[in-house]
Amino acid sequence: MRYFVIAGEASGDLHGSFLVEQIRNTDHEATIEGWGGDLMAAQGVKLHKHIRDLAFMGFVEVAKNLPTIFSNIKLVKQQISTFKPDALVLVDYPGFNFRIAKWAKKSGFKVLYFISPNVWAWKANRVYKVRDNTDRMYTILPFEKAFYAKYGIDVEYFGHPLVDVVASYKAKSLDEFRQTHNLPDKPIIATMAGSRKQEISRMLPIMLKTAKKFPQYEFLITGAPAIDKDFYGQFLTAKPENVELLFNSTYEILTHAEAGLVTSGTATLEAALFGVPQVVCYKADAFSVFIARQVSRFSGVKYISLVNLILDKPSVRELIQDDLTTQNASEELGLIIKGGAKRTAIETDYAELYGKLGENGVYKRIAEDIIHRTSKI
């Protein structure tokens, strides 16, 4: 069958690539085109647009790029119409993908949505857009199925796909890792400044100042795949000696890290699944944060990190906006490194978290359901 897959960010490219792999394992003659990144391309997806041209963060950044966004919407509609897929598979990226879903459903395409938008964190009546604009929603957070059920909407939860991603990853030994990257014999702090330029610009300078306070550790920056090395260069011209930027090494870093400074998003859950105690960092433009805080008051959402949301308690410290300072980050990091007062409690919480995320084989179960539903057309 023919599938058109749309992912707009690095995390979507990751999830999309694993999903495509499992679709091909069952539908051996599948033809797959779409929008995504290098990982999806490596799985044989014919890309019409790369994620490096798509990631806009926050209300202000989106507003500045509205002409580009509207042009992209028009373009992808044309491509879908020309390709005539048996199924349109949308991966996360809700601001864009829900516009496409609404159009595609009215146009008669089968719309399967992988990774629910955070409707529970915004206006609850948006759940009806899921009902009206998709043929099936695949959620990845354990509490989402019950949330949708309150509105009479049946969605699928097969577990969180990162369980598969982490379980399938095989890292080099610590010695090999250090030799490959010419790293000193120091314990490692994972330094995850985000996957978009706006995030990196706000988070990385604070993380670098924090690194200066811990010269006995090696801070390894996880380079975002869609960001050029030159972009990082402007922040690293006078970097501390104990900081290095590594690309294509995120999971190796997490495998060997003692703790982490992690930008809020999928990375917080990745760090948890690798057993890395973390300080969650987030800073955005003032207007975006103001809107988000008003919405969170309305919806009752208390946390921003996936770890705390799933556990429904403040397991890891969240440093948001004005709270994200070098002093606060340093103090919190000191509490979660080996010997730190919070480390054992976080490790205990992670064990509880694993139990909520399902068993291996998540992508396979989702892919089989997608194929089953698509074949009914």
Q: What is the pLDDT of residue 293?
A: 58
Nearest Cα residue to 151 out of 173, 169, 178, 130 = 130
Mean pLDDT of 261-290: 89
Section 313-321 average pLDDT: 95
Pick the most confident of 8-12, 117-121, 217-221, 318-322: 217-221
- State how beta strands 136-139 and 46-50 pair: unpaired
Which stretches does DSSP call E strand in the chain?
Answer: 2-7, 31-36, 46-50, 87-91, 111-114, 136-139, 156-157, 188-192, 218-223, 243-247, 257-263, 278-282, 318-320
pLDDT at 376 over 90: no
The residues with which 189 forms a beta bridge, in sequence order, are 219, 259
Confidence category of residue 206, pLDDT binned at 50, 70, 90: very high
pLDDT the model gives residue 204:
97
Residues 6+ apart with CB under 8 A from 148: 116, 127, 130, 137, 139, 154, 155
DSSP-assigned states of every residue in 72-90: HHHHHHHHHHHH--SEEEE
Average pLDDT over residues 83-104: 95
Q: Name all contacts of 179-186 with Cβ < 8 Å and 24+ positions apart.
A: 181/244, 181/246, 181/249, 183/218, 183/220, 183/244, 184/218, 184/242, 186/216, 186/217, 186/218, 186/242
Q: Which of 128, 317, 332, 126 is nearest to 210 (CA)?
A: 332
* Cα-Cα-Cα-Cα dihedral sign, residues 233, 236, 241, 245: negative
pLDDT (0 to 100) of residue 62: 59
**Phi and psi, residue 5, nearest 5°:** -115, 135
Which tens digits make up the pLDDT trace of 10-53? 889 989 999 999 999 999 999 999 999 999 999 999 999 998 87
Tell me which residue of 242, 244, 278 sits closest to 261, measured CA to CA.
Answer: 278
- Mean pLDDT over 56-77 rounds to 72
Least confident of 67-71, 143-147, 148-152, 163-167: 67-71
Question: What is the CATH topology of the domain spanning 167-356?
Answer: Rossmann fold (3.40.50)
**What integer is the mean pLDDT of 53-73?**
67
Cβ burial, residue 1 (10 Å; 0-12/13-18/19+): middle
Q: Residue 304: what pLDDT? A: 87
> Over 80: is that where the pLDDT of 377 sits?
no
Confidence of residue 196 (pLDDT cuts 50, 70, 90): confident
Q: How many angstroms separate the CA atoms of 71 and 67, rounded?
A: 6
User: What is the C-alpha separation between 270 and 163, in angstroms, rounded?
Assistant: 9
Residue 72 has pLDDT above 70, yes or no: yes
Chain Cα centroid distance, residue 115: 10
User: Does the pLDDT value for residue 298 go beyond 50?
Assistant: no
CA angle 70, 76, 81 (to 5 degrees): 130
Please write the tens of the pLDDT for every residue from 127-142: 888 999 999 999 999 9
Residue type at 68 in one-letter notation: T
With 60 as the cut, is the pLDDT of residue 147 above it? Answer: yes
Measured distance CA(318)–CA(50) in Å, rounded: 31
SS3 34: strand
Q: How many Cβ atoms are within 10 Å of 327's Cβ, its own excluded?
A: 10
- Phi-psi group of 106: left, alpha or beta (phi > 0 → left; psi -120 to 50 → alpha; rest → beta): alpha
Work out the average pLDDT over 100-108.
97
**pLDDT value at residue 294:** 52
83: its two tokens: 């390709």
Q: Which amino acid is at 362?
A: V
Return the number of other C-beta atoms located less than 10 Å from residue 144's C-beta: 20
Half-sphere exposure of 91 (CA within 13 A, CB side): 29
Q: Based on C-alpha coordinates, what's the Rg of the chain?
A: 21
From-to residues of CATH 3.40.50.2000 in the chain: 2-158+361-374, 167-356
Sequential DSSP letters for 297-319: HHHT---SSHHHHHHTS--S-EE
* 206 Rama sector, left if φ>0, alpha if ψ -120 to 50, beta otherwise: alpha
CATH code: domain 2-158+361-374 is 3.40.50.2000
Per-residue pLDDT, 288: 63
